[in-house]
Amino acid sequence: MNQDKINPPAFTKVHFDFDNLSYLTSPRQQLNLQAVGIGLIQLPPDEGYTFTHSHAEQEEVYIVVAGRGLILVDGELIEIKRGDLIRVSPPAKRALKAAKDTNLFVICAGGVAADYPHNPTARYLIDDGIPDYDDIPPWYEDRPDIAERNAKLKARMLKAKTKREQQ
């Protein structure tokens, strides 16, 4: 077993350049996270998730640090701006989009249920996300290129799942 998991350090400090993040950054490894899942989400103007997702167990809180945009929760479009915090229940399908004229920077945090991650090499501390590649948010619903991209992502996910099950 990993020594850090048995006897974690009192604290871990890391620095991220928030102005130059990729779309989704997980600080799990750098922070040696044990019980809190965190994602740093940076969306350029007028861009957003191409599909929705939900979780089996993880409740999430989205903290809008900068910008404006939309969060889609179970079909409801909600305007969000700097200073907003939005709690989303595990089974609710969600997606984010930046406003046309501004970046959107959001920190997504959630508690980690016991026995997670199921896969010790998972990118995220809680690996209970359920992507729905067929559920395209309204901002991309008339885009065949997005549907094609999502179909490729779905095929890749199913192939990886089959491979894991065969091991």
Please answer whether residues 130 and 94 qualify as being in contact, where contact means their C-beta atoms are separated by less than 8 angstroms: no
Distance from C-alpha of 82 to C-alpha of 52, rounded to nearest angstrom = 22
- State the average pLDDT for the chain: 89
Alpha helices in 23-143 (DSSP H): 28-31
Q: What is the DSSP letter of 10?
A: S
- Cβ–Cβ < 8 Å for 140, 95: no
At 41-95, the pLDDT tens digits run 999 999 999 999 999 888 999 999 999 999 999 999 999 999 999 999 999 999 9
pTM score of the predicted model = 0.87
Domains of the chain: residue spans and CATH = 3-166 (2.60.120.10)
Q: What is the pLDDT of residue 124?
A: 58
